[in-house]
Structure 1
Amino acid sequence: MKMESKVVLYPSPGIGHLVSMVELGKLIHTHHHPSLSVTILVLPAPFETGSTDAYISTVTPSITFHHLPTTPLPPDHSSSDFIDLAFGIPEVYNPIVHDTLVAISRKSTIKAVILDFFSNAAFQVSTSLDLPTYYFYTSGASGLCSFLHLPTIHKTFSKSIKDLDVDFKIPGVPPIHSSYMPTVMFDRESNSYKNFIKTSNNMAKSSGVIANSFYELEERAAQALRDGKHITDGPAPPIYLIGPLIATGSSQVEHECFKWLDTQPSRSVVFLCFGSQGVLKKQQLKEMADGLERGGQRFLWVVRNPDSDGKDLWGLDDVLPEGFLDRTKGTGLVVKNWAPQPAILGHESVGGFVSHCGWNSSLEAVVCGVPMVAWPLYAEQKLNRVYLVEEIKVALWLKMSADGFVNADALEETVRQLMEGEEGRAVRQRVSEMSGKAKAAVEDAGGSSRLDFLKLTHPWIHPH
C-alpha cells in the first residue's frame, strides 16, 4: 500500500511564527499539491495567551495540528529572556520531536521537515533521521544575506559587535553599521549570540532555505544568495523566494476607522502603526502628536497604552496632549490599541505608512503600493530600514536620536516629504511598480515566486 506523502512544519512558539508557517502550509497544500498532506507541530508556549488556540480553530481542516505534550522546563529556563526561551524550549522538546517524527514515519513518507529559525535545535533530530530539512526564514532576501554572513563576521572580528564601530560589507546588501545589528547579537558571549551563529551554520548545511520575498523586490540580494557569495567557507544552501506570503485576514473587517477613511480624498491619509510589540513612551506620543498637528496632513494613528502594566482602563486623553483630539478632529483619527492593518493599507484613501519596519508589515505595504517612513523599534528592524530605504527604495529615513527618540520637527518634515515632496514622489512611484511585480511574482504562470515554489516542491512530488 502506498503511504501518503507528508510535509512537517515546526514553528517556534508564539502567534507570529505560527501564522507565517500556516500560510506556508496552506500554500503547499492548496495552491499546488493537494497530494501532499501538511502537519504542523505545535509547542506549548510558556509566554503565549489563548490567541494561538483561537487562531488554530479558524485554519482550514486540510492542515493537521499535532500538539506536543507539555514537558516541564528545567528551572534555569523560567527566568530566561524571550530569545533564550525561544531557542531553549525546542531543545527541551527534542526527544519528543524525535519520537513524533518516528511515529509519523510509520504511517506516512515524510518528504520534508521545515523548521522555523528558532526551532533550530530540531535540526540534529530531523537530519539524524535522514529527513530532508529546510528552514523557513520569515524575513526577506537581504535579511537572509546578513544572517548567513554572521559566521564570517564572527571569524573576522575578535570583539563583540557592541564594541565595534564599523560598516559590515555583506554581499548583496548596502554597508551596514555595526550599531544597526539586533541588540541580541551585541555580546558574543551571550546565549542568544551563540544560538544565532549555530542556526546560521545549520541553515548553510540544510536542504534549502525558504524566504518570504520575491526576486524583483531584492534582486541584488537574491543574486548574491544564488551565487553563494554570503558564505565564505563551504557550499551555500539552495534558496527559494516564494513571497509575498501574507496572512489574508477577512476582507469583511468591521472597524470604526473605515467610515472615516471612506470620507477622505484618495491617497491623502498617513497611517501610523507600530506592530504588535510596538509600544512608545508617553513623551514620544506627545512629540508625535505635536508633529502631526503642526504638519496638518490627514492621519490615522493607532496608539497603544504606554504603561507596561497593560491596564485596559485608559483613555486617549490620558496619553495625548490636552485638546489634541478636538483640534485635529477635521484631519485625523486616533484609534486605541489595534486596527486591521492589511485592510487599512489596501484602502483607497491611504497614501503613506509610518512603520516599525517589521518585514510582514513592509511586505503588506509593498503589495498595497503604499510608500513608507521607516521608524524601527526593535529586533532586526534597523537592518530592514537600511534595505527598505537604501536598496529597495520604498521608504524614507526618519531622523532619530541615538536612543531612538524622534522629535516633532523630524516627523513633521519627513511625513510632509513623503506626501508632497520630490523624494516622496520617487518612493511612491517605486512602490507602485513593486506592487505590480509582487502580484505577478505569485500569480503569473512564469512568476518568479511561483517558479521557485515549483523548484522547492518538485523533489517532494517526483522523487528521483
Structure 2
Amino acid sequence: MDSTQLHVAIFSSPGMGHLIPVLVLGNQLATHHNIKITILTITTNSSSPEIEFLKKKKNIEIIHVPSVDISHLIDSNTKVLTQLRLMVREALPGIRSVIASMNHRLDALIVDIFGTQILPIAQEFNIAKYVFHTTSAWALALFIYLQVLDQKTEGEYVDLKQPLEIPGCKALRPDDVVDPMMDRSDQQYHEYLKLTIEYTCFDGILINTWEDLEGETIKALRSNEKLQQGLKVPLPIYPIGPLRRTVEITERDEVIQWLDKQNYESILFVSFGSGGALSSQQMIELAWGLELSQQKFVWVVRPPSDGDPDNAYLKSNGSDTRGTFEYLPEGFLTRTKDMGLVVPMWANQVEILSHSSVGGFMSHCGWNSTVESLTNGVPMIAWPLHAEQKMNAAMLTEELGVAIRPAVLPTKKMVKREEIQGMVRILMDTKEGKSIREKAKKLKISAENALSEGGSSYNSMCELVKDIRTR
C-alpha cells in the first residue's frame, strides 16, 4: 500500500455536540492511520478540554475559522438548524481562504451534517469529500428518505395517524419526528431538505454507529432500492463508531472523589447535555422525584429555561450560577446531602459514566451521550429534548431494550415526581433494571469488538482510508 502520508481536513459546525465527534474522528485517523489532520471549526470555545488535548498531538492542527455575525439575518423565531446553516453559509469565504492558503494539498475533506454547504469549495479544489453523520443510522435513513416523504406526504408529519414508513428500517411514530420536520412551513424544514440534497453529492457517508447496534438499518442504507430513491446514486456507507471521548483522568476532581466512596453501580447520573434545559416547574418535579426515590445520584444542574428551547440550546454556555441553586425546592440540598451530589453547569461526563459506582444515566439522549453511555454499559432513563433525540429514545427503549422512558414525551407533558421516582427505582433497584443493565453491558462488549483490529468499524475505517488514497 502507498505509504505517503495523507492530509485530511475535517470541518465542525458551531456547538460542542458537533465539535466533540469531529475531534474524536480526527484523533482516530491521526493516531491509528497516520493521517495529517487539520480541524476547521467555527467556535469561540477554543479552550475546551478536547481541543487542548488535541493541540498536543503532532499530527493534528486546529484552525479556528473567524466567527460571523448573523444577527441581521435572523429574528426571535429563527430555529436552531436555520441559524447553524446561516453561520456556515456566512463563513464560507473564510473557510475557502483557509483551505486555499494551506501549504499542502488536501487529499480529502470531511464535513459534519451542517458543513455540507462547503461542497462547492471541495469541488473547486478537486478534493475527495465525505459527510460525517454524527447521529444514528436510523436518523440517517430518515434523512435520506425525506425527499421522497416530502413529495408523497400531505399536511404535517406530526398530524399523521400512521407511522412514517422508512424502507428496510423501523417505522417512525409521528410523535418522534425530528425537530426540523415538525413544521413544514418553517425555514428550518426547507434548510433540512436542502441538506438532504447536498448529501447526495458527496463521495461517501461516515456514521458514528456500528454493525451490531444497527445492522438492519445499515443494510438498508447500503442495498434497499426504495430507501435509496432519496439519493442520486447509492453512496458508500462507512459505520465507523462508536467514536467517543477517551477517559483522561489527570486529577480526581470532587465528583470522582465522591464516586470513589460509593457502592458498585449504586449511582444515577443525571445530565441533559450542554444544550439541555428544563422548565422551572419540571426541574422542581425532577428534584422531588430524585429525593423520593431514595436512590443516590449525581445531578448536573443548569438554570431552567422557560422560553424557547432553541435559544437555550444556542446559548448553552449560559450564565454560571455556581452554588446558588435558587430554582431547586427549598431545603432540597440539605435533605439530600448524604444521598446526592448537585454539580453546577458542567461535569466530566466520560469519566463519570466510566466509573464503577455509576449504574444508570438519566439523559436527553443526544447521540454523543448515548454512545458514551452504551460504551460504558450504563442503562438509561431516556428524557429527549431536541433534534433527533426522540428517535434515539425510541431506539434505546423499543429496539435495544437498554432504557426506560416516561409514558408521555417530556416535551409534550410535565413528568410528575411520582413517575420520576418510579423510573429511578425500576432502573436502579429492581429485577427489570438488572435485565436492562445486562443488555447494556452486552452492547459495551459489542462496541469494543467493532473498534478492535479486524472488527466491523475498524475495517470500515480502513476502507475509508483506502478509498481516500485511491481517489
Structure 1 length normalisation: TM-score? 0.89
What's the CA shift for 1:339?
1.6
Q: Secondary structure at the match of 1:39?
A: strand
When residues 259 and 15 of structure 1 are mapped into structure 2, their CA distance, relative to the original with a 3 A threshold, is closer
Q: Is 1:63 equivalent to 2:60 in the alignment?
A: yes
What's the CA shift for 1:212?
0.8
Q: Secondary structure at the match of 1:333?
A: strand
Alignment gaps of 5+ in structure 1: none
1:366 & 1:253 partners in 2: Cα distance?
Answer: 25
Q: Is 1:337 equivalent to 2:345 in the alignment?
A: yes
Q: 1:438 aligns with which of 441, 444, 447?
A: 447
Q: Is 1:288 equivalent to 2:297 in the alignment?
A: no
When residues 113 and 58 of structure 1 are mapped into structure 2, their CA distance, relative to the original with a 3 A threshold, is closer
1:74 & 1:288 partners in 2: Cα distance?
Answer: 35
Question: Which deviates the most, 229-238 or 452-461?
Answer: 229-238
Q: 1:409 aligns with which of 389, 398, 418?
A: 418
Q: What does residue 72 of structure 2 align with?
A: 75
Q: Is 1:246 equivalent to 2:247 in the alignment?
A: no
1:299 & 1:89 partners in 2: Cα distance?
Answer: 38
* 1:167-316 map, 5 Å: 167-229=163-225, 230-233=227-230, 234-306=232-304, 310-313=318-321, 315=323
When residues 179 and 53 of structure 1 are mapped into structure 2, their CA distance, relative to the original with a 3 A threshold, is same
1:435 & 1:416 partners in 2: Cα distance?
Answer: 23
Please tell me whether the aligned partners of residues 4 and 109 of structure 1 are also in contact (alpha carbons under 8 angstroms).
no
Q: What does residue 126 of structure 1 align with?
A: 122
What's the CA shift for 1:125?
2.7
Q: What does residue 309 of structure 2 align with?
A: none
Please tell me whether the aligned partners of residues 23 and 50 of structure 2 are also in contact (alpha carbons under 8 angstroms).
no
* 1:383-394 map, 5 Å: 383-394=391-402
When residues 427 and 255 of structure 1 are mapped into structure 2, their CA distance, relative to the original with a 3 A threshold, is same
TM-superposition CA deviations, 1:365-416 (whole Å, max 9, x none)? 1111111110111121111111111122211122236624211111111121
Identity score, percent: 33
TM-superposition CA deviations, 1:187-206 (whole Å, max 9, x none)? 22322212211211222332
1:377 & 1:415 partners in 2: Cα distance?
Answer: 19
* 1:41-60 map, 5 Å: 41-43=40-42, 45=43, 48-49=44-45, 51=47, 55=51, 58-59=54-55, 60=57
Q: Secondary structure at the match of 1:406?
A: coil
Q: Secondary structure at the match of 1:352?
A: strand
When residues 76 and 258 of structure 1 are mapped into structure 2, their CA distance, relative to the original with a 3 A threshold, is closer
Q: Secondary structure at the match of 1:225?
A: helix
Question: Which deviates the most, 68-77 or 313-322?
Answer: 68-77
TM-superposition CA deviations, 1:133-171 (whole Å, max 9, x none)? 110111121221122121121112132334434311113
Over aligned residue pairs, what C-alpha RMSD do you find?
2.7
When residues 89 and 333 of structure 1 are mapped into structure 2, their CA distance, relative to the original with a 3 A threshold, is closer
When residues 52 and 85 of structure 1 are mapped into structure 2, their CA distance, relative to the original with a 3 A threshold, is farther
* 1:310-459 map, 5 Å: 310-313=318-321, 315=323, 318-400=326-408, 403-443=412-452, 445-459=453-467
What's the CA shift for 1:255?
2.3
- Aligned pair count reads 454
Question: Which deviates the most, 253-262 or 296-305?
Answer: 253-262
Q: Secondary structure at the match of 1:108?
A: coil
2:260 & 2:64 partners in 1: Cα distance?
Answer: 43
2:240 & 2:147 partners in 1: Cα distance?
Answer: 25
When residues 292 and 191 of structure 1 are mapped into structure 2, their CA distance, relative to the original with a 3 A threshold, is same
2:72 & 2:258 partners in 1: Cα distance?
Answer: 51
1:295 & 1:231 partners in 2: Cα distance?
Answer: 47
Please tell me whether the aligned partners of residues 228 and 235 of structure 1 are also in contact (alpha carbons under 8 angstroms).
no
Structure 2 length normalisation: TM-score? 0.88
2:87 & 2:327 partners in 1: Cα distance?
Answer: 37
Please tell me whether the aligned partners of residues 267 and 352 of structure 1 are also in contact (alpha carbons under 8 angstroms).
yes
1:156 & 1:414 partners in 2: Cα distance?
Answer: 39
When residues 429 and 6 of structure 1 are mapped into structure 2, their CA distance, relative to the original with a 3 A threshold, is same
TM-superposition CA deviations, 1:254-273 (whole Å, max 9, x none)? 32222322222111111111
What's the CA shift for 1:442?
0.9
1:57 & 1:126 partners in 2: Cα distance?
Answer: 28
Question: Which deviates the most, 68-77 or 378-387?
Answer: 68-77
What's the CA shift for 1:278?
1.5
What's the CA shift for 1:184?
2.5
Q: Secondary structure at the match of 2:248?
A: coil
